[in-house]
Structure formats: C-alpha cells, structure tokens
Amino acid sequence: MKLPRLLSAVLAVCLIFAPGANARTAPAVEAPIIDFGSRFLPVVARQGMVVGPERLAAEIGLGILEQGGNAVDAAVATGFALAVSYPRAGNLAGGGFMLVHLAEGNRQTLIDYRETAPASAGRDLFLNEAGEVDRERTYFSHQAAGVPGTVAGLVLAQARYGTLPLKQVMAPAIALAEDGLQVSFALNLEINSRAERLALNPEARKLFLTPEGEAPEVGATWRQPELAWTLRQIAEQGHKGFYQGEVAARLVAEMEAGNGLITAADLAGYQALEREPVRGSFQGAEIVSTPPPSSGGVHIIQMLNMLEGFDLAAMGHNSAAYIHHLAEAMKLAYADRSKYLADSDFEPVPVAKLIGKDYAARQRNLIDPARATPATEIAPGRVLVDESHDTTHYTVADRFGNVVSNTYTLNFSFGSHIAVPGTGMLLNNEMADFAANPGQPNAYGLVESDANRIEGGKRPLSSMSPTMVFRDGKPWLATGSPGGSLIITAVLQTVLNATVFDMNIATAAAEARVHHQWQPDKLVVEQGISPDTLQLLQAMGHNVDVAPRTLGRTQSIMLERGYLLGATDTRRLGGHVAAY
C-alpha cells in the first residue's frame, strides 16, 4: 500500500518535532513527503471525528465523543441534532440507513430504518382518474408520507451499540432546539429557497418563516420549542416516546386532518431492522455497503466489479476513456436497477448474482471501449436528472476503532413541506420513491419495475449508500452522499478516486464527477471536465450534459495508521469536520 501523501506529511512533522528525534535516531519509516501538489487537504486528527453537512450538529457529535461516548453515541447525537440545525434533510419523521463498523469483533452491521408504506397504501395510490401519476399528491401531500423510521433507527443503534445513556446523547439536541441557534448563511439560504412551498402549509410557515414569509435572518436566534418537546419525549421514553403516546397521537391527528394514511397501528408496528450489509471486493480491498431496500450497495459493488477488469489508472483520472468506461458501467447497473431492485422482504432480489464477479465479467463484455452504447440498446441484464431533492450523510470515527456511516432523509429538501402541529417536525415524502406507475420515471428520472410497486408495510426502493472500504481487514474509508439517484455514482467515484488514483480523501471528494443512470440517456458531468474531453466523449456517442448544479455531496473519513483524515465535500455550504 502506498503511503498517502498527507499522512507522510504528518509523519514528517511528528518525526521532526518528536523529542530527541534526529536523522540518526529516527526509526526507519517510509520517506516523509509533503506533497505540495495536492490542491485539497483533509483535516487530520487522532482521537475522534465527525464529518457532516452542518457545523453545530458535527460539534455536538464530537462533544459526545469527548464525553467518552463511542462512534454510535456520536452518530445518534448528530442525527438528532441535524433534525434541529439542518431541517432540509435532518429529521425525526424520515428514514435512512446506518452502517456501523464495530471494533469489538471486527464486524459490520447495517441498521435499516427506511420508512414503510402505511398498511392501507395500494399500488394505485398516486394515480388519477386518467391513470396518470398525480405528481403534486405524490410529492407534497399527507399521503406522500411513509411511516417514519428515523427515531426507531437511532434509538435501536443507541440501545444495541451505544455506551452512554440515551438522555445524555440527546441532551445537546434538546438544548439546541430549546435555547435556539444562530441562523447561518447556509440555513437562511436553504429555508429561503423553499419558502414559497413551505408557506403553503400553515404549520410549516409558522415554524420556518417570519410573518413576512421569509427565512429568519442570518445571525438571528431561531428557537424550536415544539421540536424540543418531541425530542424530550424520545429522550425520556425511547422508541415508545415517538411511536406511541402524545407524539404519535399528534401525528395521527394531522393525518386524519389532511387525508393522510398513517394510523396509530402503523406507528405502533414500525420497527427498524438490523441487516447484513452487502460485501464485495475491489483490487484487494473489501467493499461493505447498503443492502436492499436500498439499491446503493448492490450497484456500487456491481460497477466496481465491471470496472476492475479495465486498467483505469492507465486511462488517467477523468480522461475521456475513463469517463466513458464509468458511464457504460453506470448504464448497465442502472438498467438492472430498473428491473430487479426493491424491498427484498417483499420481492426476490437477485443480490448474489448482481454482485457476482461472473456476472460482472459478462456485463463487462458489453462495454465497447470506443463507442457509447445507446440506452435503447441496453436492456436490464438476464439474471436506472434532477439534482438532489435531498438527503444527508455524515460519518463518525472514534478512538476505539468504531466507525459509523449514516445517510438519512425526508426525501425532498424539507420533505413534503408539511409539518405536524405541536411537534416541530416535517413529514417525509418517501412514498414518492415507490414506482407510482411502474415503467414511468419517478422524481429522480429513475425507471423502476412492478417489484417496487406500492404495498402496505413495504419499504420504498432507495439509493442511499453508506459505504465502507476495508484494507487488510481494517476500516480504511467510510463515505456516503445525498442526491437520490446521484448517490450511487458519487460514492462509486469517491471510492475509485481513493483506491485507483491514490487521492487523499479531500481530493477524492473534490474532483469533478459524472453521472449516468441509463435513462434518460444522458451523461451528466460537473463543471471542471475539460472541453476537449467532452468533445471526445461526444464523438464516442455520449449525449453530454454539463450539470447546472453539482452531483452529490460526500462526507468522508479515511483511517490511516492511527490517524483520522476527514473531508467535507465543498460542493455545498456549511459542511464541517469536527475533530480532536
């Protein structure tokens, strides 16, 4: 394994300043090199680190580590704090996936706290009289809400793998909601960009907007007493504090008032599930990622398997040849997603086949090195842009060797934009991740099959992909991203940048990304790919679209020789690496 450049720099500094160190007595270590050629450098620490989309929540997580908590304690604290400080995606009434590496037993587990469809939801829920998808109802109605999973997931993680009392872990989030936070530029911008839609729901308007219908001013103190009340119910009663009792009663009352489907029984029956992650290998490293009901891990492994057969390093990072091979692998994987992926508790999903090396070898043969295969010529193998509507990711590592990679969401930014009176919380619109009309593109332009039709109790297919890479049996990289369909390809490229191109994690996060999801047949590229590269890609037959916005937003930690190297993706405002 090559010594990453930044770590070499750190070791160099340690050697120079170590007591008594000099050229004769210094131990023989690989030559310390400061690579001034790296344009981006990570934050480096030894004890603990929380990398997330918002500073206050990351610092709260770090505070829990400093109090002696482990990475799970910190991840749970950060998750509850983001519900306060990052309302566009942090949440109590959403869902997600938490990948945990436990130092004890050197094992990994996946906590699935994806929302479920209410029991009464049927396949034609969002179809109008003409049999077409009613987009307004699918995205912005009470019926768009799945039974929330976040609280169950965080409480389960805490109970099974945390070490501090839940009350202690939740105390900072409660204080943040109660005492208030100073509105940052990012928060002001995030609320203002959704102000028109938030104003349509009286409760959301009351929570997020001034009487003039605008976000609270930058620097103003923003308090959320009702959210503090809800958080306190959870801190005091755990799972029951949300799924039964007064919080549940308020949620059900809002459903009844708004023609929603979630009942008291739906809430009482919700359970977060612990699942076995999906596993693969790439160039000698082990890839551990998110299983169904997310499609993320399956397709990341599938694409890595296909790409392993090409000399990507020789092609050069973000060369036309490299991007072409990425795009072709992406098309094949997303075509398979459109047919096979769904909640595996309801539908048979051929996971083992899709992540198998044999299958990848066959699929690889379909890639023409010189020509883009039109999406119309790609069918799902025999055995799927809009920018992120939203979701968020954070990564935590502690001094004990535990690592947590967590992605959770309300689906769109601010979910359905409907708030539950007396709770301070927004409802998700995750039901939009089902195939409302199988074969028709969903909100992310993704085409999905009947396997992802709406059924009571089922979990909608997700793309959330908290992922870890292990080298020599030890966690080496933990990452994830928001972005709906963009998540999978953002994580894929972060892993490739770090492994194939030996980039430090900050550079791996910052480099320009591309995305193809089979349909629509477009190769979407971020700004920063050279015009002549784009011309070469067009000459190969790619329908290239320079994205007006960025593709995903990773939050990553790399673990090297006892050091934690963290990078928050600079594509969006407000990200933070909290470390000590």
Which residues are identified as catalytic? 391
- Least distance to ligand GLY, CB of residue 483, Å: 8
Token output for 171: 């105390």
98 in contact with ligand GLY (CB under 6 A): no
409 in contact with ligand GLY (CB under 6 A): yes
Residue with smallest beta-carbon separation from ligand GLY: 462
Nearest to 525 by CA among 491, 550, 508, 555: 550
Contact window for ligand GLY (CB under 6 A) among 6-14, 21-29, 364-372, 460-468: 460-468
Contact window for ligand GLY (CB under 6 A) among 191-199, 279-287, 462-470, 508-516: 462-470
Q: In what order do the strands lie in the sheet with 474-479?
A: 43-45, 563-568, 555-560, 474-479, 467-471, 285-289, 278-282
108 in contact with ligand GLY (CB under 6 A): no
Token output for 478: 């933990």
Binning the chain into helix, strand and coil, the percentages to the nearest 5 are 40, 15, 45
- Least distance to ligand GLY, CB of residue 366, Å: 26
454 in contact with ligand GLY (CB under 6 A): no
Contact window for ligand GLY (CB under 6 A) among 10-18, 59-67, 458-466, 491-499: 458-466
Tell me whether residue 164 or residue 492 sits nearer to ligand GLY (CB atom).
492
- Least distance to ligand GLY, CB of residue 95, Å: 8
Q: Which of 462, 481, 494, 554 binds ligand GLY (CB under 6 A)?
A: 462
Q: x/- contact string, 161-180, with ligand GLY (CB under 6 A)?
A: --------------------
The total number of residues written for the chain in this structure: 580
517 in contact with ligand GLY (CB under 6 A): no
Question: Who's near 44: CB < 8 A, 6+ residues apart?
Answer: 6, 10, 563, 564, 565, 566, 579
Q: Which of 42, 148, 297, 484 binds ligand GLY (CB under 6 A)?
A: 484
Token output for 470: 């292990």
Tell me whether residue 410 or residue 579 sits nearer to ligand GLY (CB atom).
410
Contact window for ligand GLY (CB under 6 A) among 175-183, 192-200, 261-269, 459-467: 459-467
Give the whole-angstrom CA distance, residue 246 versus residue 233.
9
> 533-539: long-range contacts at Cβ-Cβ below 8 A with a sequence spacing of 24 or more?
533/318, 533/319, 533/320, 533/323, 536/320, 537/320, 537/323, 537/324, 537/327, 537/372
Q: Which of 78, 392, 463, 494 binds ligand GLY (CB under 6 A)?
A: 463
Q: Could you check whether the bond before residue 293 is cis, i.e. omega within 30 degrees of 0? A: yes
- Least distance to ligand GLY, CB of residue 350, Å: 20
Give the whole-angstrom CA distance, residue 470 versus residue 486.
23
Tell me whether residue 461 or residue 510 sits nearer to ligand GLY (CB atom).
461
Q: Which of 73, 115, 398, 433 binds ligand GLY (CB under 6 A)?
A: 433
Do residues 123 and 455 touch, judged by C-beta distance below 8 A?
Answer: yes
Q: Which of 464, 506, 510, 565 binds ligand GLY (CB under 6 A)?
A: 464
DSSP calls for 503-537: --HHHHHHS--EE--SSS--EEE-TTS-HHHHHHH
Q: Which helix H or strand E contains 275, and what residues bound it?
A: strand 273-275
Rg (Cα) of the chain, in Å, rounded? 23
Tell me whether residue 289 or residue 462 sits nearer to ligand GLY (CB atom).
462
Which positions touch ligand GLY (CB under 6 A)? Answer: 391, 409, 411, 430, 433, 462-464, 484
